[in-house]
A = this chain, B = another copy of it.
Amino acid sequence: MTTFELLERAKSAKGAMATASTEAKNRALLAMAETLEARSASILSANALDLEAARGHISDVMLDRLALSDSRIAAMAEGIRQVAALPDPVGQVLRTVNRPNGLHIEKTAVPMGVIAIIYESRPNVTSDAAALALKAGSACVLRGGKEAHRSAAAIVEALRLGLERSGLPQDALQLVEDTTRQSANELMTAVGLVDLLIPRGGAGLIRSCVENATVNVIETGTGICHVYVDAQADLDMALSIVENAKTSRPSVCNAEEVLLVHRDAAAEFLPRLRERIPQVELRLCRRAAAIIPGTPAGDMDFDTEFLDYILAVKVVDSLEEAIAHIAAHSTGHSDAIVTRNRQAAQTFTTLVDSAAVYWNASTRFTDGGEFGLGCEMGISTQKLHARGPMGLEELCTYKYIITGDGQIR
């Protein structure tokens, strides 16, 4: 099937999804979890073929991300059941206005329609993204990476079986067959067919979507996150936060990439930090390098999402310099200040223009679950529509429903 045909099918399922009751959607999700587990043997065989084809072509880390097992499939099914348990965002009345002329206006959350997701090689994204989009009342079009295509196809087949058993249209869930750049471009420009496009993956994919898409896109995920240790920081707390933000999971977007230290704290803080995280390569500005040993920072080190045990370190003269540095180099994801000074914290949280701004906590908390949203489709780093973790509500739009008895203007 061409991508265009498949989008038409997804579009044809919009109405059924938009009118499906919460119970019908939850029943479908539970059936999908069941068929996913029931089909685990065929999913694992498909995955074995993907792994065999990929071996030698992608890194061991990527191979591990690609690999499925019974327990990973069980975890995927559990993820779907958790989405079923979340409150339904569709139909929520966000605001009610009763006008003097008798018009009754309800601003109501409604589904987007067709949500397309372009992602890379993690098979679990297939079920996560499908569950979230469907629960939000939208049809879902998935376009995964080449390496995981057989796995994704087996997963989608299982999920569609669950949809069908529950009485919702199979066509509400589609997997794009073509995994070349062409299908990505088709999704980006399918005006009238794709209501929202979410790229989940590397910086190159996301940039390409933002630059080329004519459909609505939400930019996700790139995180050059900063921790600023203020002159008045509790240095024990700062050490613990920097250690956690940098080393607890360096490969994720909310990990710290840059440390800024006020000059008054640097002489004491940097030697303690060097000792605390010996596994991390520090790339140091000249002033930091005068205090501790490390690699001299190069031109790009303050603009790189390392996703690794590397931390760029800069000594600054003031809170204002820290804020200006962040304005120039942050991707607007998550940035933190460690300080005892409430005024400094307030200035920082007001002026740092990022999705999540922390005072005395690790940047690692930027996550749908940690924010109490229960789930997450990704973390938006743009300012339009959703910012930060996107849960079910952020996957919806709204409309105004106006009831009258013949009002004219």
User: Does residue A27 face the partner (Cβ distance < 8 Å to B)?
Assistant: no
User: Does residue A309 face the partner (Cβ distance < 8 Å to B)?
Assistant: no
Nearest chain B CB to A359 CB, angstrom units: 5
Give the interface segment out of A28-36, A298-306, A360-368: A360-368
The quantity of this chain's copies bound in the complex is 2
When chains A and B are docked, how far (Å) is the Cα of A19 from the Cα of B348? 11
**Is there contact, CB below 8 Å, between B113 and A353?**
yes
When chains A and B are docked, how far (Å) is the Cα of A345 from the Cα of B402? 11
When chains A and B are docked, how far (Å) is the Cα of A110 from the Cα of B18? 31
When chains A and B are docked, how far (Å) is the Cα of A362 from the Cα of B406? 7
**Is there contact, CB below 8 Å, between A404 and B358?**
yes
- Which residues of B sit under 8 angstroms from A355, Cβ to Cβ? 399-400
**Is there contact, CB below 8 Å, between A351 and B402?**
no
**Is there contact, CB below 8 Å, between A365 and B248?**
no
**Is there contact, CB below 8 Å, between B216 and A382?**
yes
- Which residues of B sit under 8 angstroms from A359, Cβ to Cβ? 401-404
When chains A and B are docked, how far (Å) is the Cα of A402 from the Cα of B355? 11
**Is there contact, CB below 8 Å, between A384 and B214?**
no
- Which residues of B sit under 8 angstroms from A110, Cβ to Cβ? 353
Tell me the residues in window 234-292 of chain A with beta carbons closer than 8 Å to chain B beta carbons: 234, 237, 240-241, 243-245, 248
Nearest to A244 among chain B residues (CB) is B408
When chains A and B are docked, how far (Å) is the Cα of A195 from the Cα of B110? 26
**Is there contact, CB below 8 Å, between B103 and A383?**
no
Nearest to A332 among chain B residues (CB) is B399
User: Does residue A56 face the partner (Cβ distance < 8 Å to B)?
Assistant: no
User: Does residue A174 face the partner (Cβ distance < 8 Å to B)?
Assistant: no
**Is there contact, CB below 8 Å, between A383 and B19?**
no
**Is there contact, CB below 8 Å, between A401 and B349?**
yes
Given contacts A97-B372, A358-B404, A399-B388, contact A195 B15 (CB under 8 A): no
Could you list 16 examples of A-B contacts with CB < 8 Å?
A97-B371, A196-B384, A218-B384, A240-B406, A241-B408, A245-B408, A248-B408, A354-B399, A357-B400, A358-B402, A359-B403, A361-B402, A361-B407, A361-B408, A362-B409, A364-B409
Identify the 3 closest CB pairs spanning chains A and B, nearest first.
A361-B404, A244-B408, A383-B397
Taking A103-B365, A360-B406, A361-B407 as known contacts, 20 extra A-B pairs with beta carbons closer than 8 A to each other, sorted by chain A number, are A18-B353, A97-B371, A103-B361, A105-B372, A113-B353, A195-B383, A240-B406, A244-B409, A245-B408, A357-B401, A358-B404, A359-B402, A359-B403, A359-B404, A360-B405, A364-B409, A365-B409, A384-B397, A385-B385, A387-B400
